[in-house]
Amino acid sequence: MQRLTKRWRAEHRTVGFVPTMGALHQGHVSLIERARRENDRVIVSIFVNPTQFGPKEDYLRYPRPFATDCRLVQAAGGDALFAPSVAAMSPGGDPLVWVTVRNLSETLCGPFRPGHFRGVATVVAKLFSLVQPHRAYFGEKDYQQFIIIQRMVRELHLPIRVVPCLTVRAADGLALSSRNSYLAPRERMEAGKLYQALRWGAYRFCHPDRAAGARRILRQILAEMRAILATIPHVRIDYVSAVHPETLQPLSLARCPALLAVAVWIGRTRLIDNIVVG
């Protein structure tokens, strides 16, 4: 991988990079296509990273349709597919060196997935070292991940531009995700309510009841979003939050800019989504 990238760089080719865990869908395709438009060469990685899964999470059952993924990468314009083994990425077993981005990793999904973002940041740092891209592309559906990677690149002075890309959604607004395949048909029908809740919250941020006061408005907005999510049968809500889109710290007042973010369990499937207001 490094030899290939070194050769491309010596030829003065710009390199775009799309890191994934496979099970590719149209959201990933949109990242590859954007990288294709903005770079001379495009590399896509597929690596199901064990260090970002908790002990009771879905690492073993995570979908791995490798042949289908290869065809999608080629059709979308990828020049190279990098699919290292776990042993290649961590030759000694569990990593002895970790990358931790404090503060940003401890909000939103952080308390519910201990160690998750440490695993993400560590493996992305390794991939960046191996691929050595000029630009790396991340979907805003995983907004917290994007912000953490962006801060990591800045703090480590890596010569890489982290490019955020808009969330790709189904017709009912559900953000495309590899985990959507876990949903039963009835669960899939109900899952569109995540986006309904976010859209309602964004509307209320932009059309507040000024007489109520910004602090009280924020509590009302989050409660209304929770009420929409609560109509999903057998739902379990991890969080409904309003945070600053750069620091990811909770807001105390209903004011822009804001990131509205939700995480819920529908059956055995955990789904996340967000929307930026302002």
Beta carbons within 10 angstroms of residue 79's beta carbon: 19
Q: How far apart are the first and last CA of the chain?
A: 40
Helix or strand (DSSP H, E) at 222:
helix 214-229
- 187 close to 269: Cβ distance less than 8 angstroms: yes
Q: Which residues pair with 240 in a beta bridge?
A: 262
Question: Which one from 12, 25, 28, 244 is the annotated catalytic residue?
Answer: 28
Distance in angstroms (rounded) separating the CA atoms of residues 161 and 165:
13
- 225 close to 203: Cβ distance less than 8 angstroms: no
Burial class (CB in 10 A: 0-12, 13-18, 19+), 85: exposed
Residue with tokens 């990793």: 105
Residue with tokens 């994007």: 146
Whether 28 is catalytic: yes
Beta carbons within 10 angstroms of residue 261's beta carbon: 24
Active site residues: 28
